[in-house]
Structure 1
Amino acid sequence: MQKVNLSEKLSLFKDYWNPRIVGELNRQHVKLVKFKGEFVWHKHDNEDEMFLVVSGKFKMELRDKTIELKEGEFLIVPKGIEHRPVAEEEVSVMLFEPATTLNTGDTKGYLTKEHLEKI
C-alpha cells in the first residue's frame, strides 16, 4: 500500500488519449489520461465510466446535449450512452472504470488502447 501523487504521475507522460493505470480496486481501474482535441464517438455496453477533471476543462458531448466539466468536477457516463470527450486545450482527467473497459468502447480504431501501461 502506497500513496499516489497525481502531479508526479501526470508528469510522466505528454501524449493524449492514452490512459495509464495508476491504481486498482475491486476489479476497477483508476487511470490518468490527458485529452486534447476530439475523441471518437463511442459507447460501452457493459461498463459505466467516471471522468474526474484534475486540471483544465473539457466538454462531454452526448447525442442530445453537451456537458462542460471543469477542474474538480466529475461526470458518470452510464453504460450504453454514446459520448465523445472534446478538449480545446490540454486537460488532465482521472478515470474510474471496470478493468474490462476499452477506451474506445464499441468503436475500435487508431485511438484504441488494448493494453494499458501501469505507472
Structure 2
Amino acid sequence: MKVESTAAVSIPQVIGTLPGPFQQRELAMVNDAVVRVAQLHGEFPWHYHDEDELFLCWDGTFRIELDGREPVTMVAGDVFVVPRGLRHRPVADEPAHVLLVERPETKQYGS
C-alpha cells in the first residue's frame, strides 16, 4: 500500500483490510522509517532484527516474549522498543493490533 504524503490514513479502515494474523500493511513513510500495522493472534516465530523495532499497541493485549528476559505485556497505548539483536516474538491470546516502526528493509521474520 503506497500512501501519499498529503493524504490522511485511517488506521481503523486499514485494520479492516488486514487478511489475517501477522499480515502487515504500510501506513506511512517518515524520514528513514516505515510505519506498519498488523494484527496479532497466536504465537509469532522467534526471530531477531539487525535494527531496533518499535511496537505500539493500538488495541487489545499482547506480550512480547524476549530471549533471556521477562516478557513485556502490552495494552492499548503502550510503546516498547525491542533492541537490535534481541530474539523476540509477539504472542496474542486474542486478536490485537500493533503499529510497528522500523526500517523499510526490515524483514518480518527477522535476520
Does the pair score TM above 0.5? yes
Deviation of 1:5 (Å) = 1.2
Aligned-residue Cα RMSD (Å) equals 0.9
Partner of 1:59: 63
SS at 1:105 equivalent: coil
- What stretches of structure 1 move > 3 A for 4+ residues in a row? none
Once the two structures are superposed, residues 42-69 of structure 1 have per-residue CA deviations (whole angstroms, 9 ceiling, x without a partner) of 1012x11111011101010012211100
Query: What code does the residue aligned with 2:58 have?
Result: V
* Aligned positions, number: 105
1:44-83 to structure 2, matched below 5 A, reads 44-45=49-50, 47-63=51-67, 64-83=69-88
TM-score (norm 2): 0.90
Shift of 1:27: 2.3
| TM alignment of 1:1-119, pairs within 5 A | 1-45=6-50, 47-63=51-67, 64-106=69-111
- The whole-number CA distance in structure 2 between the counterparts of 1:68 and 1:11 is 24
Secondary structure in 2 aligned to 1:102? Answer: coil
Segments of 5+ residues of structure 2 without an aligned counterpart are: 1-5
Q: TM-score, normalised by structure 1?
A: 0.84
| The 10-residue stretch of structure 1 (77-86 or 8-17) with the greater mean CA deviation from structure 2 | 8-17
Aligned amino acid, residue 10 of structure 2:
N
Structure 1 vs Structure 2: percent identity of aligned residues?
33
Q: In structure 1, how many angstroms separate the alpha carbons of the residues matched to 2:98 and 2:49?
A: 18
